[in-house]
Amino acid sequence: MTLEELKPEIKLIVTQENLSTDKRLLKICKILEANIDYYNWVGFYFKNGDKDELKLSSYVGEPTNHTIIPFGKGICGQVALSNQNFVVSDVNTQDNYIACSITVKAEIVIPIFVNGENVGQIDIDSNTLNPFTEVDERFLEFVCKQVAKINDITYQF
């Protein structure tokens, strides 16, 4: 499936109110990882209550020890502060990178906004150098806008 062909699938998952938020997020992770060959780890992090840290939610890929990430630390922590997309074509060029696996070569993190507030993010690791394009950024922004529509997304974490 192309990124465009995945959009209706993402919309459908988000509207499945009979599923918990966690299950919907996991379905999104699975569909992205299964259909985009350079998406090797796909997960969601959300602000952990009133703390200045992110908490790992649903994900697919290798297990990670990074279930809590302080704001400012790593790519995810930087996005929590900057409210901006962050595309890293080669993780070895980043001083403030948290290595989850030695196989990871690149990362993209896109924030999720609800009512103008950065509540979380989608984080994707790739085992390929420089795989992410502007098309990935726009697609993942779409995914994040859809995720933001889940009614209780900000109350889960």
Considering the entire predicted model, what is its pTM?
Answer: 0.95
SS3 33: helix
Confidence of residue 146 (pLDDT cuts 50, 70, 90): very high
pLDDT value at residue 124: 97
Interatomic CA distance for residues 33 and 154, integer angstroms? 24
pLDDT value at residue 96: 77
Query: pLDDT tens across 70-94, in order?
Result: 999 999 999 999 999 999 999 889 8
Work out the burial of residue 88: count CB atoms within 10 Å of its CB; fewer than 13 is exposed, 13-18 middle, 19 or more buried: buried
Interatomic CA distance for residues 132 and 137, integer angstroms? 8
Query: Which CATH number is associated with domain 3-155?
Result: 3.30.450.40
Confidence of residue 152 (pLDDT cuts 50, 70, 90): confident
pLDDT value at residue 110: 98
pLDDT value at residue 154: 61
CB 128 within 8 A of CB 89: no
155 pLDDT exceeds 70? no
Confidence of residue 153 (pLDDT cuts 50, 70, 90): confident
pLDDT value at residue 97: 77
Query: pLDDT tens across 94-133, in order?
Result: 887 777 778 999 999 999 999 999 999 999 999 999 999 9
Per-domain residue ranges for the chain?
3-155
156 pLDDT exceeds 70? no
